[in-house]
Chain A
Amino acid sequence: MHAEAALYEPPFPSDKPRRPGWLRRHGRETAALALLALLLFPFLWMVQLALRPAQDAFEPGLLFVPTLDAFHALWQDQFARSFGNSLLTSTLSTALALLIGVPAAYALTRWRFRARRHVALWILCTRMAPPIAFTIPFFLALRWAGLLDTVWGLTLIYLTFNLAIVIWLMQSFFAAIPAALEEAAWIDGCGVWSAFWHVTLPLTRPGLVSTAVLCFIFSWSDFFFALILTRTQAVTAPVAIVNFLQYDGWEWTKIAAAGTLVMLPVVAFTLLVRKYLVRGLTAGGVKD
């Protein structure tokens, strides 16, 4: 971690001979924290809503006795199950999308065949699949295949939007790596894919991790497909939250508590992998 930090240099360093004032040195961080507080205000307000007793949900005052009632109620509501389903589905679909999509993105970048642009555009189109209109065919197909209300069925359907993201995003990252690097490896006898694995992929680690995070997020927050294609077994967290919009009243504290919980794994995951979001070992570049 320290080695990486030493190799890392921000693009606009202020390396003046005299030590600049505190604000100058920490201006960026201060601004970032201030902006964070401002932008995250709606979220913070939701968290405090989760800690309020149910009847005081919208009291104007800022003072209240925090309580974990909402979280308890969630647990009893079997929210844990839908939470687990979300976790499973998102992880599986991210892994699958990366597995299939990253090699495809690489091939699309390096292999200059004639129909390249058209294929790339068509792949982009698959993301345009309007959930509204595609749900009925998916519903009927999954029902016929016996995959309705299963984690695998949902994972398969999530590939519709995740594959396109992986392919297009990774394409833009692979394109930034000069082919000269791989050619050097080929000269030395590496095959296409082993050069890819040993040379190209490590260089695009920030891009890869970011894409994985995004895939995870998109699968995690999908609502429409989960609504139509699950019943009770594979129901995911976003759909479970709608259950708190009861006929006779919306359970706001539970909604807020669920929102807080649902957000935690992804943010935790991102915090964990944040060092991989930083540039990898080959900061120096390439010798021609």
Chain B
Amino acid sequence: MQMPPALAPALPAGEAGRHFSLPSRAATPAPAPAAQPSWQRQQRRSYGWGLYPALIVLALITLAPLLTLVVVSLTPLSLTDPAGTFHFRDPLGNYRQLLNDPRFVHSLWVQFQLSSVGVTLQLLSGLGIALLLHGRSPVLGAVRSLFLIPMVLPPIVVALIWKILYTPDISPLHQALEALGWPLRSLIAHPDTALWAVVAADTWQWFPFTMLMVLAALQMIPDDPLEAARMDGANRWQLFRFIVFPHIRAVLLVCALFRLIDSFKAFPLLYVLTNGGPGTVTEVTNFYGFIQAFNFSFWGYGSAIALVMLAGVFALSALVSRLGRDGGDDAR
């Protein structure tokens, strides 16, 4: 369809650009003056066409497995004897066991540490690097793509690389440090440092996620408020705090949510670097669930662990997204 003539002159930059209105709560779509009730209905129907396919697909591929998960968690199902252990004689048996399982409780604490510190570091480093790279220059343009590399490597390869880097005998890092006179003992073999070594590798792998999204959001910030503020004499920090940050806030929140959710699913790094050890200092809940389900074949128990985790992640996400909403400028 041809662009309606009334719209054409409005788009390119020019005088029109000066009269920009920031997206704000005031911009809730009001019906156009000439609206009839059928327009609203038509509008709603159109929106429906856009939304329903996604909802249907998602329902199909997540509700069914979720149901299975719930059902299995109510049984002591073990794959070594599927027929004999698939019964509902003691539906809450797995959950009772969870409460009395110190290894499970410990795994929650490890998970909390990994998620909170890891996500914070990823957000901060991603944001910082995005701000650094947000500039006009062909060099910066190419560098932006290269910075994606850690995220693009298959996680198993990242885990293997870091495994070598953390093995003093063959690691170039350790050897360089030793040559400089600061020998470092193996980080993944010591209970005090194992988790933080994993967090470091995790941050290295995932900071590009935040960086990419923040860069895209920075690109979409309109010029005029910045121009105006600069002409009024605002310095960099003020520009950032009052203009840039509100614009990227929504994206930062989404990044935080997604990294938080993904941190609960962290697996390859732990599997290769520490295997949950030494002892259980890096055994997060997901890993513990994996051991129960795949090494011991206790599917019922593993499912119960997974459900508890889901509930926890759900609650956390609801909390974080509500904090983001209530905290201020929300274009939604």
Contact = CB atoms under 8 A, between A and B. Distances in A.
A73 interface: no
Interface stretch (B95-103, B115-123, B261-269): B261-269
Interface in B40-92: 42-44, 46-51, 53-55, 57-58, 61-62, 64-66, 68-69, 72
B148 A270 contact: yes
Contacts of A187: 6, 32-34
Interface in B125-163: 129, 132-137, 139-157, 160-162
A42 to B, nearest CB: 5
Given A36-B143, A58-B164, A284-B20, 15 more contacts: A28-B132, A42-B162, A103-B51, A104-B54, A128-B261, A130-B265, A160-B62, A169-B213, A187-B33, A187-B34, A203-B220, A214-B212, A221-B154, A255-B157, A284-B17
Interface residues of B, number: 129
A152 interface: no
Contact of A179 (B11, B27, B251): B27
B187 to A, nearest CB: 14
A125 to B, nearest CB: 6
Contacts of B313: 125, 128
A281 B11 contact: yes
Chain B interface, DSSP helix/strand/loop, else mixed: helix
A149 interface: no
A237 interface: yes
Interface stretch (B104-112, B188-196, B275-283, B285-293): B285-293
A191 B46 contact: yes
A181 B258 CA distance: 30
B170 A58 contact: yes
A127 B258 contact: yes
A221 B50 contact: no
Contact of B150 (A43, A156, A285): A43
A131 B164 CA distance: 27
B306 A132 contact: yes
A12 B236 contact: yes
Given A127-B261, A133-B293, A163 B152 contact: no
B186 interface: no
A183 interface: yes
B152 A287 contact: no
A192 B47 contact: yes
A9 interface: yes
B7 interface: yes
B301 to A, nearest CB: 11
A249 interface: no
Interface of B: 1, 3-7, 10-14, 16-17, 19-21, 23, 27-30, 32-34, 42-44, 46-51, 53-55, 57-58, 61-62, 64-66, 68-69, 72, 129, 132-137, 139-157, 160-162, 164-165, 170, 172, 175, 204, 209, 212-213, 215-224, 226, 236, 239, 244, 247, 250-251, 253-254, 257-258, 261, 264-265, 267-268, 286, 289-290, 293-294, 299, 302-303, 306-307, 309-310, 313-314, 317-318, 321, 331-332
Nearest to A196: B50
A173 B247 CA distance: 10
Contact of A121 (B23, B66, B150, B318): B318
Contact of B29 (A176, A179, A282): A179
A286 interface: yes
B244 A36 contact: no
A128 B264 contact: yes
Contacts of A190: 1, 4
B46 A267 contact: no
Interface of A: 5, 7-12, 28-29, 31-33, 35-36, 39-40, 42-43, 45-46, 58, 60, 100-101, 103-104, 106-113, 119, 121, 123-134, 136-138, 141, 156-157, 159-160, 163-165, 167-169, 171-173, 175-180, 182-194, 198-199, 203-204, 206-207, 209-210, 213-214, 217, 220-221, 223-224, 237-238, 241-242, 250, 252, 255-256, 258-259, 262-263, 266-267, 270-271, 274-275, 277-279, 281-288
Contact of A167 (B54, B141, B157, B293): B54
Contacts of B224: 285
Nearest to B43: A192
Contact of B20 (A7, A9, A237, A286): A286
Contacts of A141: 64-65
Contacts of A278: 141, 219
Nearest to A279: B219
